[in-house]
Amino acid sequence: MHEKCGVAAIALTERAGARPLYYSLYALQHRGQESAGIVTHDGFQQYAHVETGLVGDVFAADDLDELRGNVGIGHVRYPTSGGTDACCAQPFSVSFKSGSLGLAHNGNLVNTADVRADLEERGHAFTTWGDTEVIAHDLAHNLLEADLVRAVKRTMDRLHGSYSLTIAHDDTIMGVRDPLGNRPLCIGDLGDGYVLASESAAIDTLDGDLIRDVRPGELVVLAEDGSGFDSYQLASPPRSAGCFFEYVYFARPDSVIDGNLVYEVRRELGRRLWAENPATTDVVMPVPDSGRAFASGYAEAASEAPMSEIPAGNGDARGEAATDEGSPDVEFAEGLMKNRYVGRTFIMPSQDERERAVRLKLNPIKSTVSGKSVTLIDDSIVRGTTSTQLVELLHDAGARAVHVRIGAPPIVAPCYMGIDMASREELIASDKTTEEVRETLGADSLAYLSIDAIAETLERERPDLCLGCVTGNYPYDIDGEVTDRDVQRPAVGDASARAAGDD
């Protein structure tokens, strides 16, 4: 329902699989901090250890030793507002007529209720409200009537929505990516076996080599002896719908998704952000840590740009910091220091001390800010709360002007594909123009990146991306929402490329 999760799977020749899975989950921890789990199989029986908590807290050395077998799957689950019940921790396991089945799921189905109703009609009873149990029951059902590949195909045909799944059917380990390839999943070679993971950084952690991404609609079956893998292209839709937000925010910078290194994508988005809306202020500073790669690209582009290319209308920058010749003198500096110790147990200040809470988390460096015109770079604006506080913080620290540049288009609609951003009402840009958002933020100017810049950076056609959250048009049929097949190619990108506050 709300899984912004990480999945992994492994099949090794001789070594036990639990420890490599454990390290994989550590590498994917940023994708989910609510629960962690590993399911293995030793050829005779299934072993499972699934608990709420961080990877490091869930598994003790003994737990890993008891997870026997050379093959297995793993999962980390994203925390959601809806409670941290152990009920929905994964992998989800069942045993049935044809053996055991374990599933780890990243993504979100949009027809869970229908599939569940069908299964209930046949007498199935469910212990949770999650879509993963529904997938497990459907697959178990199909495995009674068909061979493995055919059963997976039948289940895929029945499921609508986004899913990257790792599956353990007894000691047969598989990975599946939904036909539109919304969530990432890749294959790695470990020398003595193979690994599947949401992100390539997990493969790096195991000292393995990224082979390639699992293709949209592809089923990958790992040989149980770690000797190889088979591929079955079970669906071949005319388009794909990869999530661009993985690149902007969610994935690790050191992961390669569908051929693009996330860090480089962010730097390039930063360069394009400058190109589309340059603000040659005294100093460029990232919101740590999310804006750092964008800011680095932005500053780099700025330092390389001949003054003559700076579009007119950015009087702020030109008039103050730029010279007519050479590159504009834009300093890149950390202007906000992050306190890494502020965590869950923090006692919130009372209302009148609220400002102090922000300063506890992010403290401006006065010498970088005071008396300066500042460009603040972040990856995205969701609710706008933090951005508003940061702009105020910088003004309070003496910034002469605060120009905000965002490495993504305005988020105008909710995500139904597995990233639990916020409801439409909570999204600051859902009912505000960029100028209105700027005003709310209190920024001197505000510019988002265009959709086109993203598509070009990723070298995809716009219809091959899921842009639901920035267009409101989705690649899947969702009750009450518009499908992107029905709409003209929107011109939103151009609009958003124009900065508010500039004239």
What is the token pair recorded at 306? 């001949």
Amino acid at residue number 307: M
Distance CA 452, CA 446 (A): 18
Judged by CB under 8 A, the chain residues 312 through 331 that form the site for a copy of itself are 331
Judged by CB under 8 A, the chain residues 10 through 39 that form the site for a copy of itself are 19, 22-23, 26-27, 29-30, 33
Binding mask 158-197 for a copy of itself (x = CB under 8 A): ----------------------------------------
From residue 14, give the alpha-carbon distance in Å to each of 74, 192, 193, 469, 495.
19, 8, 9, 45, 57
Smallest gap from Cβ 476 to a copy of itself, in A, equals 25
Judged by CB under 8 A, the chain residues 263 through 292 that form the site for a copy of itself are 263-264, 267, 292
Tell me how crowded residue 147 is: count the other CB atoms within 10 A of its CB. Answer: 10
Smallest gap from Cβ 502 to a copy of itself, in A, equals 28
Residue from 111, 166, 205, 380 binding a copy of itself (CB under 8 A) = 205
Pairing, β 186-189 against β 193-197 = antiparallel
Judged by CB under 8 A, the chain residues 422 through 451 that form the site for a copy of itself are none
Annotated active-site residue 87? The verdict is no
Judged by CB under 8 A, the chain residues 220 through 239 that form the site for a copy of itself are none
Size of the site for a copy of itself (CB under 8 A): 82
Number of C-alpha atoms within 13 angstroms, CB side, residue 211? 18
Judged by CB under 8 A, the chain residues 334 through 373 that form the site for a copy of itself are 334, 337, 339-347, 349, 353, 355-356, 359-360, 363-368
Cβ closest to a copy of itself, residue 353 vs residue 477 = 353
Residue from 129, 382, 398, 460 binding a copy of itself (CB under 8 A) = 129
Tell me: cis bond preceding 20? Omega within 30 of 0 counts. no
Pairing, β 465-466 against β 242-243 = parallel
Smallest gap from Cβ 320 to a copy of itself, in A, equals 20
Number of C-alpha atoms within 13 angstroms, CB side, residue 123? 1
Q: Determine if 382 is a binding residue for a copy of itself (CB under 8 A).
A: no
Beta carbons of 404 and 277 less than 8 angstroms apart: no
Distance CA 502, CA 83 (A): 43
Residue from 146, 211, 223, 261 binding a copy of itself (CB under 8 A) = 261
Q: What are the φ/ψ torsions at residue 43 (nearest 5 degrees)?
A: 95, -25
Beta carbons of 7 and 104 less than 8 angstroms apart: yes
Smallest gap from Cβ 145 to a copy of itself, in A, equals 9
Residue from 4, 141, 153, 215 binding a copy of itself (CB under 8 A) = 141
Amino acid at residue number 16: A
Smallest gap from Cβ 106 to a copy of itself, in A, equals 18
Smallest gap from Cβ 122 to a copy of itself, in A, equals 6
Distance CA 291, CA 257 (A): 19
Smallest gap from Cβ 348 to a copy of itself, in A, equals 9
Distance CA 434, CA 456 (A): 22
The DSSP letter of residue 255 is -
Which DSSP string do the residues of 451-481 spell out, in sequence order? HHHHHHHTT--GGGEE-HHHHSEESS--TTS
Judged by CB under 8 A, the chain residues 43 through 102 that form the site for a copy of itself are 54-57, 59-61, 64, 86, 92-97, 101
Cβ closest to a copy of itself, residue 144 vs residue 491 = 144
Q: Determine if 500 is a binding residue for a copy of itself (CB under 8 A).
A: no
Per CB under 8 A, the segment of 114-122, 377-385, 414-422, 473-481 that binds a copy of itself is: 114-122
Catalytic annotation, pick one of 5, 186, 243, 415: 5
Per CB under 8 A, the segment of 201-209, 239-247, 427-435, 491-499 that binds a copy of itself is: 201-209
Q: Determine if 114 is a binding residue for a copy of itself (CB under 8 A).
A: no
Cβ closest to a copy of itself, residue 124 vs residue 212 = 124
Binding mask 480-499 for a copy of itself (x = CB under 8 A): --------------------
Smallest gap from Cβ 460 to a copy of itself, in A, equals 19
Cβ closest to a copy of itself, residue 345 vs residue 488 = 345
Cβ closest to a copy of itself, residue 164 vs residue 368 = 368
Distance CA 443, CA 386 (A): 13
Q: Find the DSSP H helices in 376-484.
A: 385-396, 434-441, 451-457, 468-471
Beta carbons of 460 and 475 less than 8 angstroms apart: no
Largest CA distance in the chain: 77
Residue from 294, 332, 416, 474 binding a copy of itself (CB under 8 A) = 332
Cross-strand bridge partners of residue 257: 260
Distance CA 425, CA 414 (A): 9
Residues 6+ apart with CB under 8 A from 344: none
Residue from 70, 155, 296, 496 binding a copy of itself (CB under 8 A) = 296
Cβ closest to a copy of itself, residue 339 vs residue 433 = 339
Q: Determine if 293 is a binding residue for a copy of itself (CB under 8 A).
A: yes
Q: Determine if 123 is a binding residue for a copy of itself (CB under 8 A).
A: yes
For the chain, what's the residue count? 503
Q: Determine if 125 is a binding residue for a copy of itself (CB under 8 A).
A: yes
Smallest gap from Cβ 438 to a copy of itself, in A, equals 26
Which among 23, 8, 24 is positioned nearest to 173, based on CA atoms?
8
Q: What amino acid positions are annotated as catalytic residues?
A: 5
